[in-house]
Amino acid sequence: MIHDNDFEYYENMAHWSFDEYGIHEECLTDWDLYGLLRSKVTVESRVLDLGTAGGEKILSEFPDCAEILGTDYSPAMIATARGNLARSGRKNISFKVMDNLNMDVPDEYFDVVVARHTCTDAAQVLRCLKPGGHFLIRGVDKYDCWSLKLVFGGGQCFDDPVPVSITDYEDVLKAGFCDVELVPIFTREFYKDRDSFKDFLGIVPILENVAIEGEPLDEDLLDKYIAENTVGGRIILRRAYYGISARKKL
């Protein structure tokens, strides 16, 4: 089940956007979730997006097909997604509130299930996929922003004994998927100045348990990181994600 503090965090994030911080990203790995998704989808496909948040990625990146359902456990996020959908004019998309660990969807209904930066239960995903259907995951790994976490002495997944990428990979295999592939994804984010970088860290959970939302960052540690990770006047944050692709047996 979802923890109460996580639920409150995402409810408060419902109207927030990365665009506010003017982040420039460079991907260092040739693994594109949306390119892979487009290669799996036909005009007759039904697609489920788990952890859809405000639905922005569905509206901007998902290919046209018969049906797309976006789900999130945050009612505020789904309200935002429905508002974004109404402004888009799209007719083949719907949104609903749902906990990924207690999935309320039909058996063998979807051709593709996508999960981005969210928890999943691979066995439940397998159940709702048609035979031959595809499961695509993009997640945040333990070593995301590792140099930043080392400076602050903690942060998201800092003390996890096993990286979440490995846990997800094993869960997908144990559920009975085939053609399972795990790919590390590395990117670099560039921030224009100290203020925008500090504001960003005050919103996202990268430094959770070290700098909690509403409490100040340690300014000395922040300046230490910035001094060691500024190139050409821009502050660099090195991100570590992972991608998993898998298929349900025919």
Whether the CB-CB separation of 117 and 56 falls below 8 Å is answered with: no
Whether 40 shows a pLDDT value over 50: the answer reads: yes
Distance between CA atoms of 119 and 2, rounded to whole angstroms?
A: 9
Percent of the chain whose predicted confidence (pLDDT) is above 70: 90
The structural domains of the chain, with segments of one domain joined by +, span 4-247
4-247 CATH fold: Rossmann fold (3.40.50)
Whether 213 shows a pLDDT value over 60: the answer reads: no
Structure-model confidence comparison of residues 3 and 59, the more confident one: 59
Distance in angstroms between the alpha carbons of the first and the last residue of the chain: 31
The whole-model pTM stands at 0.89
